[in-house]
Amino acid sequence: MSLYAPISALTTAREVESGRLTAQDALNHSHLRIAQHDQYLKVFAQELPKWAVLEGHLSGISIGIKDVFDTYDMPTAYGSPIYNNHQPATDSALVTMLRNCGATIAGKTVTTEFAWFSPGKTRNPHNLKHTPGGSSSGSAAGVAAGFFPAAIGTQTGGSIIRPAAFCGVSGYKPSFRLFPTLGLKHFSWSLDTIGFFAARAEDNAFIAATCSNRDLMINHTDKSAPKIGIYKSSIDHIMSPAMEHSIEQLAARAEKSGAVVVDVNAPAPVEEARSAHAVIQDFEAVLALADERCRFSGQFSEKLALYLAEGQEITPAQYDEARRTANHARKASRQLFDDCDVLLLPSAPGSAPETLQSTGDSIFNRMWTLLGMPCVNIVSGFDNNGLPLGVQIIAPFGQDKKALQAAHWLECNSE
């Protein structure tokens, strides 16, 4: 297992609030851990800022910010040499929301190039030879390593849920547009979704609820078991045997603890929307990076340059058709919950691959980003190499609390 362990944001906040721990001590603990271990894990994209204690419900909680969110007091490079030492004028909305609740910004965490696939330097805390996943690599690895109790990132394909799974932490991708993306460097504005990393579902729920004033906190008195739908689709053969086994075991433990578990088959319009994600993302990325492609074409990775050149071939008519297909799938996705409260499926094909040249495959994530539905990664087990396996709990659009609550129940009842 890992040398590292995540810190609970909820416990930290309670300790600070009760006076058993000072906010300064909580921050010092994080800072020390970073000073000792970031040389191995390479979580940070920019030099650490000076940390100050702020007042509020998140006082004493340091939060890692994926380096695609603008910060007025720290350079922001979006994972690209084009923006080396770029200093934005204004904070992203979400960063200000967090500061306004007393959170201390730990620093800017490594992202892949423009939050796409070309990896950054971050390593997986469970095994330095393995990818932490991406694109929110530093945010996921930093929470896993106990560098900070929480972090924010973005998901356009699978960039919250996959790194959370690979690093063995809770990842929460909210419903599309529940949190503002202002001040985020967009890659695909119809897909880019803000998300959170923390130790467990209750910690993510606490951070998200506190900064947004939304009713997302876990209800700790509600012990009722969710009705879980095991999602069956045409790509299930891609799962590793360890992942398959892990889901079977998790389902069995959940049933034993009182949950109803049923199979849910992918409806045809949802399956058919699989290819729409790429068309929408590719078309929008060409526009999102239009200026950079004109003025700094030599500073893209070869892979991204090629990807954007191909994206330019997509016509507006093809893009509009993909958007219609996605809307059709969104409507059809309601029937997924006819017989269950939440869906359960892999967060990734397996555990983190042994490579630093790739961040893994987002095939189990892209559909749910396209549909805009809330997803929460939970640790379902570990493979033979001690690497975490993750599954995602998915609720209907707008019912984020249901996904968080079910993830919390599973974390409590199936270990």
Largest CA distance in the chain: 61
Q: Which residue has the tokens 């000072």?
A: 22
Q: Report the sign of the C-alpha dihedral through residues 93, 97, 102, 103, in that order.
A: negative
Helix residue ranges per DSSP H, 177-275:
201-212, 241-256, 268-272
Angle between helix axes 316-332 and 276-288 (nearest 10 degrees) is 130
Binding of a second copy at residue 221 (CB under 8 A)?
A: no
- Choose which of 220, 295, 303, 334 interacts with a second copy (CB under 8 A): 295
Task: Provide the mask over 132-171, with x wherever binding to a second copy is found by CB under 8 A and - wherever it is not.
Answer: ----------------------------------------
List 18, 39, 213, 357, residue binding a second copy (CB under 8 A): 213
* Matching residue, tokens 């892999």: 346
Q: Is residue 49 a contact point for a second copy (CB under 8 A)?
A: no
Q: Which of residues 379-408 bind a second copy (CB under 8 A)?
A: 398
Q: Which two tokens stand for residue 282?
A: 């590719």
Instruction: Rule CB under 8 A: say whether 355 interacts with a second copy.
Output: no
Q: Which of 1, 3, 81, 86 binds a second copy (CB under 8 A)?
A: 86
Using rule CB under 8 A, residue 52 touches a second copy? no
Strand partners, 152: 65, 196
Residue 147 and residue 34 in contact, taking contact as beta carbons nearer than 8 Å: yes
Q: Are 379 and 389 in contact (CB under 8 A)?
A: yes
Check binding of 252 to a second copy (CB under 8 A): no
Least Å distance, CB 137 to a second copy, is: 23
Q: In what order do the strands lie in the sheet with 260-265?
A: 104-109, 62-66, 150-155, 193-198, 170-173, 375-382, 388-394, 342-346, 227-232, 260-265
284 part of the interface to a second copy, by CB under 8 A: yes
Residue 74 one-letter amino acid: M
Q: Which of 261, 287, 356, 363 binds a second copy (CB under 8 A)?
A: 287
Nearest distance in Å: CB 228, a second copy: 26
Piece of 243-251, 253-261, 286-294, 371-379 that binds a second copy (CB under 8 A): 286-294
Does 316 bind a second copy (CB under 8 A)? Our answer is: yes
Task: Among 212, 233, 318, 413, indicate the residue that binds a second copy (CB under 8 A).
Answer: 212
Q: Which residues contact a second copy by CB under 8 A?
A: 72, 83, 86, 89-93, 95-97, 99-100, 177, 180-183, 186, 189-190, 212-215, 284, 287-288, 290-292, 294-295, 315-317, 320, 398
